[in-house]
Structure 1
C-alpha cells in the first residue's frame, strides 16, 4: 500500500502472480501470447495451466512484448497518482528482447526525465524480487537515485537458473541462444540447465534424465554460491498438471520442488522460501514441466 512519503512508482515485467499479490502497488506490463491463427491475448487474461495445456496439445504459441504506447500509458497512469513525481521501471533483461529495450527507451522520452529504467539483467522473480524491494524503498520515501544504488548492489546477490525439460520450446521462443538449444537437442531427450543472468542465457549443463537434470540445477547454484549464505529462495515452476490433469504427476512434481530446496546448500534458520508459478508468457518459452530457482544471497558483512 502506498504511503504519504512515496514519490516513486515502480513498474515491472512478468512477476509471478504470487509476488504481485504480495505487492499490489507494483504496476505490471502486459505482454501478448499469440496463436498461429492470429489470436492475440494478454498475459493477464490467461492462466499458466491453459498455456501449458495448449503447448502439450501441439499449438505453436508465440509472444510479443508490450509496445511503446502500452509502456507509456503505464508510466502516465503511475504519474497521475497523488504525490508521485517519478516512475522507475525495473525490467526483465532487455538483451533477451532487444526490441523491448528499445520500446522502454522511446517511452521514457515522453516524460522529460520523470521516467527511469533499471535493467535487472535477469528474469522470473529475479526481476520480481528487485521490483518488490524497490517498492519497499519507495514506500519509505527514497528517491530514484537512492533506489537505483540499492538495486545495483542487490543485483550482484541474485542468481536465476532454469531447468528445461523440453528445450525445443526455448528454441522456438528465441530467448536462449540457438547454439545452446542446439547442443541440448543434439542429444536425444537431452534436458538443459540455463543460467538467466547478465542479460544472456548461459548453458549450465545437459542431462539425459529429469532426475539428473534437477540434480544439476542444484549443483549450478552451488557453483556460484562461493560460500555465501542464502537469504531467500524462490522455487518457480510451470503448472504441474497435464492435459488429463493426472493427480499422481502433480504430486510427484510437488515432491521435486521440496527435494530441490532440501538439497540446496547454504541455507540456515533465517532462509526464506517461496513457491510460485511461472507466468503464462514465460511458460511459452520454457515449455511444460520446467523448474526454476531464484536465489538471493545474504548481503556480505
Structure 2
C-alpha cells in the first residue's frame, strides 16, 4: 500500500499542533527586516512579528524557499518505502514558491513521478484547508489520485474574503496597484478583497466603515452560497482577534456552520496583508 505524505509551505498558516498531528511537512519562506533574516513561523512567530512590524524602521521583505530546501524534504520523506508526496503551495501568481517546489520534484532522478506539486491558487488558510483535508484523506488510505481530486473539488467550492485596515502593505509588497492604495486610505474606506481563480488579489468592493464592510461580506457570501450552509469556516486575523470575533459572530447569525475555528495570519502573509486584517475562509464541501 502506498504511503502518501503531504508537504506545504509556511504561508498555509496551519497551526503547529495540527501539522504535527497530521504529520504535514512544512518548508518555510523567509522574512527580512533590513539585514535580519527569519524563517516564517520557525524562528519568527506571529506574536513576535506584529510588534516588530510596528517598531522596526525597516519594511519587511519576504522570499521563497530554494529548490534545494524542497529537495531535502522530498528526499527525506521518500526514504520511507512505497511513498508518494503531494506538495501543495502558495499561488504561483503571488510567489515563486510553487516553481521552487516543482523544480525540486524534477531533480529526483531515482524516484521520478513520486512528487505531485499542486498550485493551490490561494494563500493562508485557502492553502491550509486543502492541505489539512489532503492529510486526513491520506490517513484514511486514499490514493494520490483520490486526494488530488479532493483538492480540486475543494478549490472549486471555496470562498475567501478579507478586510484590510490599509492597502499600504499590499502596495509596498507589490501585490496591488498604487492607485488602489491611495483610494483605500481616504475617508475611512475599507476595501473588501478576495483571491481570483488564479490566486491574484482582487478588489471586490470598497465600503465606508468596518461594520458596513462586514455586512457587505455577508451579502457576498449569501450570493456565493444560496443554501447558507457552510461545511467549514476559518476566521483569520493579523493581530486583531476582536475584529475576527465580530466577523465570526456576524456570519454565524446568518449561516449554518458545521465547523468554525480561528487562525492567526503568519509573518509572511501578515507582512503583505498588514496588521488589523481579518478574513473568512469558507468551504462548502
Do both proteins adopt the same fold according to a TM-score greater than 0.5, normalized to the shorter chain?
Answer: yes
Q: How far did residue 47 of structure 1 move?
A: 1.8
Whole-Å separation in 1 of the counterparts to 2:84 and 2:147 = 12
Structure 1 residue 280 corresponds to structure 2 residue 277: no
Contact 1:9/1:84, CA 8 A, preserved across alignment: no
- Equivalent residue number for residue 24 of structure 2: 26
Judged with a 3 Å threshold, the aligned counterparts in structure 2 of structure 1 residues 197 and 122 are, in CA distance, closer, same or farther, namely: farther
- Equivalent residue number for residue 245 of structure 1: none
- Equivalent residue number for residue 36 of structure 2: 39
Q: Which has the higher contact order (CA 8 A, sep 6+)?
A: 1
Structure having the larger proportion of residues in strand: 2
Q: How far did residue 64 of structure 1 move?
A: 0.5
Whole-Å separation in 2 of the counterparts to 1:182 and 1:71 = 38
Q: How far did residue 177 of structure 1 move?
A: 5.2
Q: How far did residue 228 of structure 1 move?
A: 4.8
TM-score (norm 2): 0.88
Whole-Å separation in 1 of the counterparts to 2:58 and 2:234 = 29
Q: Secondary structure at the match of 1:145?
A: helix
Computed over aligned residues only, the root mean square deviation of the Cα atoms, in angstroms, reads 2.1
- Equivalent residue number for residue 8 of structure 2: 12
Contact 1:8/1:87, CA 8 A, preserved across alignment: yes
Contact 1:8/1:88, CA 8 A, preserved across alignment: yes
Judged with a 3 Å threshold, the aligned counterparts in structure 2 of structure 1 residues 41 and 258 are, in CA distance, closer, same or farther, namely: closer
Structure 1 stretches of 5 or more lacking a match? 241-252
Q: Secondary structure at the match of 1:233?
A: strand
- Equivalent residue number for residue 172 of structure 2: 172
- Equivalent residue number for residue 293 of structure 1: 280
Judged with a 3 Å threshold, the aligned counterparts in structure 2 of structure 1 residues 206 and 78 are, in CA distance, closer, same or farther, namely: same
Whole-Å separation in 1 of the counterparts to 2:135 and 2:66 = 24
Judged with a 3 Å threshold, the aligned counterparts in structure 2 of structure 1 residues 30 and 235 are, in CA distance, closer, same or farther, namely: same
Map 1:145-160 → 2, pairs under 5 A = 145-160=145-160
Q: How far did residue 278 of structure 1 move?
A: 0.6
Deviations 1:274-299 (A, max 9, x none): 011111111111111110110011x4
- Equivalent residue number for residue 243 of structure 1: none
Count of residues in Structure 1 that have an aligned counterpart in Structure 2: 275
TM-score (norm 1): 0.84
Map 1:47-126 → 2, pairs under 5 A = 47-57=45-55, 58-80=57-79, 82-97=80-95, 99-111=96-108, 112-126=112-126
Q: How far did residue 183 of structure 1 move?
A: 4.3
- Equivalent residue number for residue 248 of structure 2: 261
Judged with a 3 Å threshold, the aligned counterparts in structure 2 of structure 1 residues 164 and 230 are, in CA distance, closer, same or farther, namely: same
Q: Secondary structure at the match of 2:58?
A: coil
Q: How far did residue 94 of structure 1 move?
A: 1.2
Deviations 1:262-285 (A, max 9, x none): 2226632x6211011111111111
Q: Secondary structure at the match of 2:276?
A: coil
Judged with a 3 Å threshold, the aligned counterparts in structure 2 of structure 1 residues 114 and 266 are, in CA distance, closer, same or farther, namely: farther
Judged with a 3 Å threshold, the aligned counterparts in structure 2 of structure 1 residues 76 and 179 are, in CA distance, closer, same or farther, namely: farther
Whole-Å separation in 2 of the counterparts to 1:177 and 1:108 = 34
Map 1:223-238 → 2, pairs under 5 A = 223-238=223-238
Deviations 1:213-241 (A, max 9, x none): 3333333323322335111110001123x
Whole-Å separation in 1 of the counterparts to 2:77 and 2:177 = 35
Q: How far did residue 189 of structure 1 move?
A: 4.3
